[in-house]
Structure 1
């Protein structure tokens, strides 16, 4: 897809700066060697959290930084993931902390205790390297947690190739990380109003642009048209690519589009949608300021798509009444 002046830049989770060193993964001893090297930087994943710390002084790259560490003896018994190397050659490993009985083993209930934060809480404030480390490690950890057994014969699988493959211990078949593509789109009518929807299980006031998973044998543009038709009963005239970003919740990539329509009468699918509405720009600003409507999180491409239509950031709207 060609980039244009309308393509969204610097999406929060699309800023990885590491070389993924795919050829190094093939060496069976690579993880052991990196765990023996005190210069290796380790990012530990516990459940859906990593430990972060505030940057010292003003930083143009990010207000938070991952609390990376050297390898520990306990890491030898944990799932280790080769994330890549930085331009200086330093290697980065993701290490998955213990999870008893498959449950989240994060030692904290308060997300801010000891600096253990989720991607949603920390992602926007991390520098490109750390955002990429967190995103990749979390996506891989989620995949490993859900694919411990062979889909062909049911035997246990083991991680190989630096954590990027799982191999069946019985039949030797290899299985690779799963990424589920989903389209997300603004839809604008002839009066330049934006279509917003509230999911069937979302709380009151939480609205976003429409989205849905791509089906087998379907192009991204066809998925945009189908999802809009299914969820609100209108046909679009066309869709333009805006950008994409990984979304490791648990294993998606979001592909953004801008669509237009000449139809305004909505017929919502009650299974998918609680409500849908058209909003004008000034109306949306008023709803933001009085708290009647909530936007998606700061790390999401959904927020950036809405701001593209709005012509300003959500924060700049709210700050006017703060």
Structure 2
């Protein structure tokens, strides 16, 4: 874990990688000098002359050949281009080394450069993937813990039991649905946070159940929900919208006439989510920590989602709008 933290430092990571490349150049030219007559400035200049073309040679191989062809599973084209590229590179660099008086570039050195450069690139991708996965797991655990703290604390359960008891006296025929609603919410939360992504359809259904439950708890709460587009096959990280809906219900609930307007629309893989709620300008007993929005920003960053997030307070209205492009789709 400590290594992953160090690796996330852009400066240190590139310093280590570039030091390896310089080491290969150094090995190519060092044997041309005697220890007694070693001119370090001249040796440094030689290393710089050899460093740039070899560095960009590895860079082009990694971000063009490997990223575009290998990762796109065009293996036959990749194999041919990879061999042709490095053969041409070898002859070009052999001429370049003689032209710049660096000596003759050895085949072993180029082979070492290919292996090390490609290997370091794959190692880099693996480390970045592990860091990303660790961050996702941490966020999911934090979301699960936050939700469980709120939903499973004695105060919440006491209110839930009191509400269900009151419902059983007034309208007992509706009690089974209320119990199932609460049970489904808790079950979904426990199962969903074990995954990186869930179906958007499931996430929307969870939000509907969550809103339905709190509308039942607060009869004064007016909620308008609009859903447009085809949600099937689109994926999103679990409990993604919960903090925003949760805050809207919490802060609007303090007003005399609480209301929430929720709009969710999907067009192809573009998602638009907006929520508006009223709140008390003064006299609120709640403190706005901004944790919900900060958590959302962090998740957007960790999952690498292309997005646009806007929010503002105007008079007694709080508005937030989130647009996400290129959402992942479920495997068929």
Tell me whether the two structures share a fold, i.e. TM-score over 0.5: no
TM category, shorter? under 0.3
Give the TM-score, by structure 2 length: 0.23
| Larger Rg over CA atoms | 2
Give the TM-score, by structure 1 length: 0.23
Higher strand share: 1
Higher helix share: 2
Bigger relative contact order, structure 1 or 2 (CA pairs below 8 A, ≥6 apart):
1
